[in-house]
Amino acid sequence: MELRHKPRREDLQPSESLCDHCVAKCCRYFALPLDTPKRWKDFETLRWFLLHKLTSIFVEKETWYLQVHTECRELLSDNRCGIYESRPIICREHSTADCEYDDDWTYDLFFESPEQLSEYVEARFPPGRGKSIRSPRPGLPILRPK
């Protein structure tokens, strides 16, 4: 079996389309920005997202994202759009000038499971940071002369 090598973006001829060599990363997931979690409760919502199949959470340039790994229902077997002429505006505005064709997908943080997120939260918000689970020690009673 012959391995097909993907040409570098800069090696394509002006008449060639980048999409002819692409695996359609942009049509295989979508990512939505999230509010930056600041409290333990915020992370519980993110953990809930990760309990669903085909989801991940990543942080890129200090912005948190929910990523849903699901293929567009109109993606054809040749990685082309099945509704190209009537595709949504977000697809029309997408440009190959800054697409993910040669992106290696490295993120500042990446979570694929609720367990990974829990480990991160435990490291960031250690239990009892400066607090004890015990009740405060009662002071000695003050004895006053009668």
Residues 57-105 pLDDT 10s: 999 999 999 999 999 999 999 999 999 999 999 999 987 777 777 776 6
Domains contained in the chain, number: 1
Give this prediction's pTM.
0.73
Measure the CA–CA gap between 128 and 42, rounded to whole angstroms: 18
Range in 8-22, 50-64, 69-83, 130-144 the model is least confident about: 130-144
- DSSP for the chain, please give it: -PPPPPPPGGGS-TTS-GGGG---GGGS-EEEEEPPP-SHHHHHHHHHHHTSTTEEEEEETTEEEEEE----TTB-TTS-BTTGGG--HHHHH--GGG-STT-----SEEE-SHHHHHHHHHHHS-TTTT--SSPPPPPPPPP---
Q: Is residue 2 part of a domain?
A: no
Q: Is residue 122 part of a domain?
A: no
Q: Is residue 52 part of a domain?
A: yes
Identify the pLDDT of residue 21: 76
Q: Is residue 142 part of a domain?
A: no
Q: Is residue 34 part of a domain?
A: yes
Strands 109-111 and 63-68 turn out to be unpaired
How does residue 132 score in pLDDT terms, banded at 50, 70 and 90? very low
Q: Is residue 66 part of a domain?
A: yes
Q: Is residue 135 part of a domain?
A: no
Q: Is residue 95 part of a domain?
A: yes
Domain extent at residue 35: 12-117
Q: What are phi and psi of 144, to 5 degrees?
A: -110, 135
Identify the pLDDT of residue 137: 64
